[in-house]
Amino acid sequence: MSARNETPHKIIQSLGKKKCNGSWEEATENLTMEQVKKLAEDQKDRLTGATLYARCREVMGTCVSMRVNVEGMSPKDALSA
């Protein structure tokens, strides 16, 4: 399995950057919900979620560890919104 097909790499490709900042205070990376949905659909065979909602939550969980905001807020806040 190639690392180029893994979710973190796909997130970085969606952002159009080489790597993420790694700090919540200085986080400039931001995904829209449409980008999250597209990533979840593209990674359907690789993610364990049965529904689109569950796969989106998996992608947003990856965003937490990468320090990438979703819709201008932390992914944890976006999940509960």
pLDDT digits (tens, 9 = 90+) for 9-55: 899 889 888 877 777 777 778 999 999 999 999 999 999 999 999 99
Residue 56, both tokens:
């989106």
In this prediction, residue 3 carries a pLDDT of 64
Would you state the pLDDT for residue 52? Answer: 95
Residues 6+ apart with CB under 8 A from 47: 7, 40, 54, 55, 58, 59
Q: Domain residue spans in the chain?
A: 28-81
- What dotted CATH number matches 28-81? 1.10.10.250
Amino acid at 37: K
- The tens digit of pLDDT for each residue in 48-80 reads 999 999 999 999 999 988 889 999 999 999 988
Cβ atoms within 10 Å, residue 62: 20
